[in-house]
Amino acid sequence: MLLTSLDPNHPGATDADAAVTVGSESMSRAEVYRAAAALAAALPDARPAAVHATPTLDTVVAVTACLLAGVTVVPIPPDSGSAELHHILSDAKVTFWAGPPHPSSDLPTVPLHRRNLPEAPMLVVPADDTRAMIMYTSGTTGAPKGVELSRRALAAGIDALADAWQWTADDTVVHGLPLFHLHGLVLGVLGSLRIGSRVVHTEKPRPDRYAAAVGTMYFAVPTVWSRIAADESSASALRRARLLVSGSAPLPTPVFDRIANLTGIAPIERYGMSETMVTLSTRADGPRIPGSVGQPVLGVTTRLVAEDGHAVPDDGATIGRLQVRGPMLFDGYLNRPEETAATWTEDGWFNTGDIATRDAAGFHRIVGRESVDLIKSGGYRIGAGEVETALLAHPSVQEVAVVGQNDPDLGQKVVAYVVTEGKNRSELAEILTEFVTDTLSHHKRPRDVIFVDELPRNALGKVQKKQLHPPL
């Protein structure tokens, strides 16, 4: 059974304590199972079901119901526009909503009930290799793609993190992440329903709400950790935690250091994507190095290859294309066999599209996406991530995104988009350029520094670099 702790025969299944809390509402494990089983029994057929993934207990129950029934769940972002919503529903061939619908959809709804439920019916446990979920990518390179994840993949990914993070039924996970994404839904909620830990969703990822929630493991993205680092009282309240986990984007070293100083806990960093779940992580019982996403988790192997296909040295400096293998990888992109085939090598490795370095101990550092973060300038190959890390070490830099832009002489030039409160920006631009020159090689310095009020980000805080353009 994927959600092991909901098995009626599981020791904690009838626990009256709050197993899942969202905002001010809570449900025990037995209550989650009864409500989900009742909804599962009412689903009209085995076709994919859409779930309006708002941060509510209804979302948790609806997703759980689909998984109990063996129905593929399609989490829908609450802020989906009409075109995106239509694309997802038609691409996945969704014909109904499990639980409350999206206000822009007229598909029929199977309502759920969470009160005065009879004893839950026993359900047939679906096979491990059946599809559990279609999770849509953010669509930064076109229409969102449906990532097909099996029950086996979800279980393997969660179990690998339980090993790496020493995650047990004694833990309480706290987070305020979106429930339509891998980090918030699969790790933050389904992980607890499998392992038997408790989970508290803060509805919004605000520092004060993280501070008020009592837990042992706190999940957040770098944008949230940055806000917590700026709120000393909220950060100090997290000293009670066992693990602070950051993912979905690189955690800037200054934020890592400040969180470690305020809480006494060095953050755990991990790497994954919708197609692979989490494949790399620092361990609860291992070293935590700023900027490093650690080593392969249980069952995963990685390799870094150059453009010519040869392996790059494990020197912690040479960048290469990151390729992975493991039991938690996806089955393919829905309705896109050619794109699915293009992501795999002939010898069975998945091309992540990211570039990275690896040292002799197997610790990885993600440099960025090959499509936007590998800058080829004057014959050099430059990783945008290392330039960003260098710039973030300057006290005037609050946020930064580095990109390569076409240049008639260099091919591409390094351009830095910087958020700062500094006033004398023309002088600061020169200072930052020299600052990078003193930190990194001369050819890695920004040729242009462009100041902006904010960086474009998606719901998980990832910078959308393709929306950055030089001023006219």
> How does pLDDT run across 332-347, given as a tens digit for each residue?
999 999 999 999 999 9
Residue 252: inside a domain: no
Distance of CA 467 to the CA centre of its chain: 20
What does the alpha-carbon distance between residue 201 and residue 179 come to, in Å, rounded to a whole number?
10
Residue 223: inside a domain: no
HSE-CB for 309 with a 13 A CA cutoff? 4
Check residue 139 and give its pLDDT. 56
* pLDDT band at 100; cut points 50, 70, 90: very high
Q: Please tell me the total count of domains within the chain.
A: 3
Q: Give yes or no: residues 364 and 386 share one domain.
A: no
Whether residue 15 has pLDDT greater than 70? no
Residue 222: inside a domain: no
Of 334, 369, 404, which residue is a domain's last? 369
Q: Give yes or no: residues 147 and 181 share one domain.
A: yes
Of 181, 204, 227, which residue is a domain's last? 204
Span of 80-84, 111-115, 220-224, 324-328 with lowest mean pLDDT: 80-84
* pLDDT band at 458; cut points 50, 70, 90: confident
Q: What is the CATH number of the domain that holds 404?
A: 3.30.300.30
Whether residue 14 has pLDDT greater than 70? no
Q: Give yes or no: residues 179 and 299 share one domain.
A: no
Closest listed residue to residue 297, CA positions, set 254, 333, 329, 331: 329
Which residues, listed in sequence order, are joined to residue 351 by a DSSP beta bridge? Answer: 323
The residue-averaged pLDDT of 265-278 equals 96
Q: Give yes or no: residues 403 and 358 share one domain.
A: no
Q: Range of 424's domain?
A: 378-467
pLDDT tens-digit map of 365-388: 998 888 777 788 877 778 888 788
Q: What is the CATH number of the domain that holds 71?
A: 3.40.50.12780
Check residue 140 and give its pLDDT. 52
Span of 146-150, 444-448, 468-472 with lowest mean pLDDT: 468-472
Q: Which helix (H) or strand (E) holds 41?
A: helix 29-42
Express as a percent the part of the chain with pLDDT over 90. Answer: 69
State the virtual CA torsion across 294, 285, 388, 237 in degrees, nearest 10.
Answer: 150
Q: Give yes or no: residues 413 and 365 share one domain.
A: no
Check residue 12 and give its pLDDT. 55
Q: Give yes or no: residues 277 and 362 share one domain.
A: yes
Of 315, 338, 369, which residue is a domain's last? 369
The residue-averaged pLDDT of 397-409 equals 88
Q: What does the mean pLDDT of the chain come to?
A: 91
What does the alpha-carbon distance between residue 282 and residue 266 come to, in Å, rounded to a whole number?
11
Q: Give yes or no: residues 179 and 113 share one domain.
A: yes
Residue 410: inside a domain: yes
Check residue 410 and give its pLDDT. 85
The better pLDDT of the pair 53, 137 is held by 53
Check residue 423 and give its pLDDT. 77
Q: Give yes or no: residues 309 and 343 share one domain.
A: yes
Residue 363: inside a domain: yes
Check residue 338 and give its pLDDT. 95
* pLDDT band at 424; cut points 50, 70, 90: confident
Measured between alpha carbons, how far is residue 343 from residues 182, 324, 352 in Å? 20, 11, 8
Check residue 316 and give its pLDDT. 93
Question: Running DSSP on this structure, what letter comes out for residue 84?
Answer: H
What does the alpha-carbon distance between residue 222 and residue 63 come to, in Å, rounded to a whole number?
26
Span of 100-114, 243-257, 379-393 with lowest mean pLDDT: 379-393
Residue 211: inside a domain: no
**Which of 169-173, 395-399, 404-408, 453-457 is the most confident on average?**
169-173
Q: Give yes or no: residues 331 and 396 share one domain.
A: no
Q: Give yes or no: residues 193 and 274 share one domain.
A: no
What does the alpha-carbon distance between residue 67 and residue 59 come to, in Å, rounded to a whole number?
12
What does the alpha-carbon distance between residue 116 and residue 35 come to, in Å, rounded to a whole number?
9
Q: What is the CATH number of the domain that holds 334?
A: 2.30.38.10
Edge-to-edge strands of the sheet including 131-136? 109-110, 97-98, 49-52, 73-76, 131-136, 146-150, 332-333
Check residue 141 and give its pLDDT. 53
Residue 241: inside a domain: no
Span of 210-214, 229-233, 403-407, 459-463 with lowest mean pLDDT: 459-463
What does the alpha-carbon distance between residue 91 and residue 108 come to, in Å, rounded to a whole number?
17
Residue 346: inside a domain: yes
pLDDT tens-digit map of 300-309: 999 999 988 8
Check residue 142 and give its pLDDT. 63
Check residue 16 and give its pLDDT. 61
What does the alpha-carbon distance between residue 94 and residue 88 come to, in Å, rounded to a whole number?
8
Q: Give yes or no: residues 193 and 297 share one domain.
A: no
What does the alpha-carbon distance between residue 220 and residue 265 come to, in Å, rounded to a whole number?
14
As a 3-state breakdown, the chain gives helix, strand, coil percent values, each rounded to 5, of 30, 25, 45
Q: Give yes or no: residues 410 and 341 share one domain.
A: no
Whether residue 39 has pLDDT greater than 90? yes
Check residue 460 and give its pLDDT. 67
Check residue 201 and give its pLDDT. 98
